[in-house]
Structure 1
Amino acid sequence: MATQDSKAFGGEQGDLFVCDIANWPVKDDIASMEIPLFSLKKNKDVEVREYRRGNKTLRVIPSTVGAATVFDKDLLIYVASQIVEGMKQGRQVSRTVQVDSYDFLVATARSDGAASFDRLVDMLRRLRGTTIETNIETGGERQLEGFAMIESYKVIETTRNKKGATRFSVTVSEWLYNGLLKYEVLTLDPGYFRLGRPIERRLYEIARKHCGDQPYWKLNIDLLAEKIGISRPRRQFRGELREVIQVDSLPEYRLALDTSTDPDSVVFYTRNSHKLAKYLMENPEKAVWFGTLEKYAKPSITDG
C-alpha cells in the first residue's frame, strides 16, 4: 500500500525496490553533505566523533568493525540515486532495496574483481554498525535520535553468476529515506566516484552544496576543517589543501587560498572559465582580489 508522503512526491511505497535503473543521475542527500558523518581514514576507525553547529548536534559512534567511511557512502549515494530516479519515473519505492553488486561496483568506478565483492560485506558491516545520534532535520522534522546508517542487510544470492556478482538487500534509515521522499538531494558529477582521496570527496561535497552555480564561495579554514571532519593542526590542513589545489582533480570546482585573512579563507570557484571571467569583468574589485589568491597554476612545458 502506498504511503501518503511517497504518493505526494511521485512514487509509491512497496515492499522492495530493485535498483535496476540505467543512466541515473548521481544524487547525494543534502543533510549528509553538510556534516562529517563519514570517516576520512582508510584504516579501521573506532573513534567517537562529535560535531556541533548552532542548534545542530551530531555524534558518530563506530562499532568494533570501525566507522563507515566516505567510500562506504557510495552505497548510500547509489541507493539514493536509484530511489529518487524511481520516484521520478512513478515507480514504487521502498526503504528496502535490492542491489546487484556488479552493477554497483561498475557504477561507482570500482574494480569488479573477486576482492571487490568480498569487500562489499565489510562495507555493509560498517554501515550497519555505525550509529548516528543527531537532531538534524530531514523531511521537515527535527528530533534527537540514534540510528544506524543502514537498518539491515542481507545477501540474498550467494551463487555467483558469469560476471561474479552477488545480490544483496539493504534497508536504509528512515532519516535518509525521509529526505529522499522530499527530494532533499543535489546532483553530483559522476567524477566524484573517481576521487581517490577522502579529503577530495568531502571538499567536492561541500563545494557542491555551498558554491553550487555561483562563481565562487568562501569560508574560513577552521570552519572548513570542522565541516570536513578534520582535527589536525591548521598548518597541516593548509598543506593538504595546497596539495589538492595543485592536483586539481575536483569536478566542477577549483580551490584557492586567501592568506591575507586571519585565519586563511578557502575559496571554491567554478571551473566554468566563461562564467568566472564574466563575473570578474563585471566586478573589477573582485577581479583584483581574485588575482591575489593562491590558486592552481598550470604547469609549464618546462616543468619536471
Structure 2
Amino acid sequence: MKNSSTAGVTGTLFPGDDAALPSGSRAPADAVQADLFVVLETFHDWPVKDDMSSMEYPIFSLSKNHDTRIRQYSRGGKSVRVIPSAYGAATVFDKDILIYCISQLVRAADAGIPISRRVRVDVYPFLVGTRRSTGGAAYERVVDMCRRLKGTTIETNVKTNEKEQLEGFGLIEDYRITSYTKNQKGALELELTISDWLYRAAMDFDILTLHPDYFSLGQALERRLYELARKHCGDKAWWEISITLLHEKTGSSQSLRRFKQDLKEIIANDPLPDYRIALDETTKPNKVVFLTRDNAKLVCEANRAGRLSWVSFFLQKTLTH
C-alpha cells in the first residue's frame, strides 16, 4: 500500500460510488481475506488515520446526551441520513474505536500483513492509545460504544446505472465480547466487523493522517472542527467558510447564536493541533478562517496571494486572545 498520510483521492467515497476510486485500487474480495485481523498492540506514536467521508459529513453526534434524533445532511448532490437505535446515535468519541481499527489496518497492510474487516481489539491498548482513562468503567463504556456503532444506520443516495438508489448500512456490522472484566459488564477483548464502507476507505486510500493530539480534545465540537480543518485546509495555509455553512457541516443541534458563542470560546482557548481559528465578523454572514500554525508557510502563501494584510489581521487576533 502506498503512503496514505495525505489525501490520495479527490471526492467523497460512498458505497457503490466506483467513480471515486482511483484506478487499480480495489481492495481484495472478502473471500480471499484472512478471517480475523488482530490489531497490533500499540500505545504511543502510532499513525492515526481517519476516513475522509466521515470527516466531510456530520455522521457522528456531538451531543453529550442520549441522542435518538434522525439527522439528514445534503450537499453537492450527496445526501446522508443518520438513523440511531434505541441506544442512541454513535458519537464523535465512539468513533475513536473505528479510527483505531482503520489506523491499524492501514499499518498492517503497509507491512504486508493479511487483514480482514473482522478485527480483534485488546481494549487496554486501545484506551491508552486514544488517551482514555483505564479505570474499570472505561471497559464498560467500550461495550456501550459498540452498541451505538452497531445500532446507528447510515443511509445515502448512490447512483447505479444512472439511477439514484438508497443504500443503508451500519458503522459496524457486528461485535462480540471475547473476554470480560470480573463483573462481566466490561470488555477486556472484543471482536468487531467494520462496515465495508470503512474498509474500502482504508484500502482505497480515502484517508488522512490526524495529529495524535486529536484524542486530547475533550469537547465534541473541538474534534469536529479539527476534522473539518484537516479535511479542507489540509496542507494549505488557510481555509475560510461561512459560519452558517460551518454550523451545518459540524452537525451541531445548537442555534446559530449558541454555536457562535461556543466557537468564540474555542477560538479563545485555541486547543486545536495544527490549526488556529479566527472569526471574521466584517462579512455577512460571518466567516470562519482556519489558519495553519506554520507561520512561515502562512506568511509565504499570503504574500504570494496578495493577502498578507488580510492574514496578518487574523493572525494578530488569534495571538492576542
Q: 1:224-277: CA deviations, max 9, x gaps?
A: 111100243322222111111110010000001111111011100101112112
Question: Letter of the aligned partner of 2:311 in structure 1?
Answer: F
User: CA shift at 1:94, angstroms?
Assistant: 0.4
The alignment status of 1:99 with 2:113, answered yes or no, reads no
Match of 1:194 among 198, 211, 216: 216
Match of 1:241 among 263, 279, 298: 263
Q: Which runs of 5+ in 1 are unaligned?
A: 300-304
Task: For 1:40 and 1:231, locate their aligned partners in 2 and report how far apart those are by CA, in whole Å.
Answer: 8
Which residue does the alignment assign to 1:255? 277
Task: For 1:295 and 1:169, locate their aligned partners in 2 and report how far apart those are by CA, in whole Å.
Answer: 48
The alignment status of 1:14 with 2:44, answered yes or no, reads no
Q: Among all aligned residue pairs of Structure 1 and Structure 2, give the percentage whose two residues are the same amino acid.
A: 51
User: CA shift at 1:298, angstroms?
Assistant: 4.1
Which residue does the alignment assign to 2:192? 170
- 4+ residue segments displaced more than 6 Å: none
Which residue does the alignment assign to 1:86? 108
User: CA shift at 1:143, angstroms?
Assistant: 5.7
Task: For 1:207 and 1:223, locate their aligned partners in 2 and report how far apart those are by CA, in whole Å.
Answer: 13
Which residue does the alignment assign to 1:75? 97
Match of 2:175 among 145, 153, 174: 153
The alpha-carbon distance between structure 1 residues 291 and 275, as it changes in their structure 2 partners (threshold 3 A), is closer
Task: For 1:31 and 1:143, locate their aligned partners in 2 and report how far apart those are by CA, in whole Å.
Answer: 19
Task: For 1:36 and 1:78, locate their aligned partners in 2 and report how far apart those are by CA, in whole Å.
Answer: 19
Q: Give the TM-score, by structure 1 length.
A: 0.88
Which residue does the alignment assign to 2:203? 181
Question: In the TM superposition, what are the counterparts of 1:1-304 in structure 2 within 5 Å?
Answer: 5-6=26-27, 13-22=33-42, 23-135=45-157, 144-158=166-180, 166-283=188-305, 285-293=306-314, 295-298=317-320
Contact 2:27/2:200 (8 A) holds in 1: no
Task: For 1:297 and 1:245, locate their aligned partners in 2 and report how far apart those are by CA, in whole Å.
Answer: 10
Contact 1:31/1:136 (8 A) holds in 2: no
Question: Letter of the aligned partner of 2:307 in structure 1?
Answer: K
Task: For 2:82 and 2:317, locate their aligned partners in 1 and report how far apart those are by CA, in whole Å.
Answer: 34
Partner SS for 1:94: coil
Question: Letter of the aligned partner of 2:66 in structure 1?
Answer: K
Question: Letter of the aligned partner of 2:36 in structure 1?
Answer: L
User: CA shift at 1:181, angstroms?
Assistant: 1.3
Contact 1:102/1:165 (8 A) holds in 2: no
The alpha-carbon distance between structure 1 residues 240 and 136, as it changes in their structure 2 partners (threshold 3 A), is farther
The alpha-carbon distance between structure 1 residues 75 and 255, as it changes in their structure 2 partners (threshold 3 A), is same
Contact 2:39/2:120 (8 A) holds in 1: yes
Which residue does the alignment assign to 1:302? none
Q: Which runs of 5+ in 2 are unaligned?
A: 1-24
Indicate the RMSD between aligned Cα atoms, in angstroms: 2.1
Q: 1:154-211: CA deviations, max 9, x gaps?
A: 0012266xxx971100101111111111011000000000000000000000000100
Contact 1:255/1:295 (8 A) holds in 2: no
The alpha-carbon distance between structure 1 residues 178 and 144, as it changes in their structure 2 partners (threshold 3 A), is farther
Question: Letter of the aligned partner of 1:205 in structure 2?
Answer: E
Q: 1:272-291: CA deviations, max 9, x gaps?
A: 112112223444x4122224
Partner SS for 1:277: helix
Partner SS for 2:273: coil
Partner SS for 1:261: coil
Q: Figure out how many residues of one structure are paired with residues of the other and give that number.
A: 285
Partner SS for 1:255: strand
Task: For 2:129 and 2:90, locate their aligned partners in 1 and report how far apart those are by CA, in whole Å.
Answer: 20
User: CA shift at 1:153, angstroms?
Assistant: 0.3
